[in-house]
Amino acid sequence: MPIWPGRDGVSPKTQSPPVVLIGGWGVSVDMVMPLVEDWPAPVFPVSLDDEGVGTCPDVSALAEQLTKRFPRPALWIGWSLGGQVAMAAAEAAPAQVRSVVTLCSFPKFVATQQWPQGMAAAQFHQFAEGLQRDAQRCRQRFLMLQTLGDPDEAEARRALKPWLARTEQFSPQMLAKTLDWLALTDQRSLWQRLDRPALHVWGDRDQVVNAAMADATLSKRARGERVADLNHWPRGDAMARCRQLVRGFVNACEGVA
């Protein structure tokens, strides 16, 4: 597992925490590495691919495995489905998760009558059927969906091309398993009661995750932020604003977590 040190390889005296950074469904965590660019402490990236997920049957099991792999107290950041993994880790090992950030994530992905903020069930099931027919083509369609709403969609599509070609670590079996996680994982209670400092960031241009979740009930120690011009894949100026939010959140948490 690669480690990204700070510029000089050590944390400054202010002791910025290490980061466990977890990617989303069907995509490399490298896509959101700019979020922790020049972070002055080690960064431990985890992709939800065949290597990162292994034999774990669900989000909670993966979270427990990762807390064993990364036992040092850290800031846990999760993008999209990775946000649910980070939240589950905070519940399983609160002493290790100093604070948690979710980016374009959700307590529950698929909508119900009681949870209208999620993706429509019919749309999700149509996507799942497409995955059964052609997993890699379906994955690529999902990646393209992440650029919709970008202020410069043409440039976003060009920037996405290298990631579209990276399919070797995402087997059809792994894509199907983690898609089931999206269908079945319900953390609404956890997001309301978690007793750790938490920052939840959503984008007002996101075509995958409804930014209305920023208005949902969160725990007393959590704050929700809606970022202008942010679609599901943070990049450019929107990524810079997300990075500022994370740095400010960590500074505010010092001596609290």
Among the listed residues 79, 164, 84, 177, the one whose alpha carbon sits nearest the alpha carbon of residue 131: 177
Q: What is the DSSP letter of 119?
A: B
Closest CA to 80 of 110, 105, 47, 58: 105
Residue 256: the pLDDT is: 47
Please tell me the predicted confidence (pLDDT) of residue 5: 36
Cβ–Cβ under 8 Å, residues 200 and 187 = no
pLDDT of residue 254: 67
**pLDDT number for residue 6:** 35
Per the domain annotation, does 119 fall within a domain? yes
- Here the tokens at position 55 are 């034999």
Q: What integer pLDDT is reported at residue 10 of this predicted model?
A: 36
Residue 233 lies in a domain: yes
For residue 85, give every residue at least 6 positions away whose Cβ sits within 8 Å of its Cβ, in sequence order, or none: 22, 46, 48, 59, 62, 63, 66, 78
Which residues form the domain of 194? 19-253
Could you tell me which of 107, 114, 100 has the C-alpha nearest to residue 80? 107
Global pTM? Answer: 0.92
Hey, what amino acid is at 19?
V
Q: Are 181 and 156 in contact (CB under 8 A)?
A: no
pLDDT along the chain (257 residues), means of 10: 35 72 95 94 96 96 97 97 98 95 97 93 94 91 88 89 82 95 97 95 94 86 94 93 95 68
In a domain? residue 12: no
Instruction: Assign residue 43 the CATH number of its domain.
Output: 3.40.50.1820
Task: Please identify every residue annotated as catalytic.
Answer: 80, 206, 232
Instruction: Evaluate whether 17 touches 39 at the Cβ level (below 8 Å).
Output: no
Instruction: Say what the pLDDT of residue 182 is.
Output: 97
Identify whether 62 is part of a domain: yes
Instruction: Tell me, yes or no, whether 1 lies in a domain.
Output: no
State how many domains the chain has.
1
C-alpha span between 64 and 164 (Å, rounded) = 30
Taking a C-beta distance cutoff of 8 angstroms, is the pair 186, 107 a contact?
A: yes
pLDDT value for 214: 85
Task: Give the pLDDT score at 149.
Answer: 82
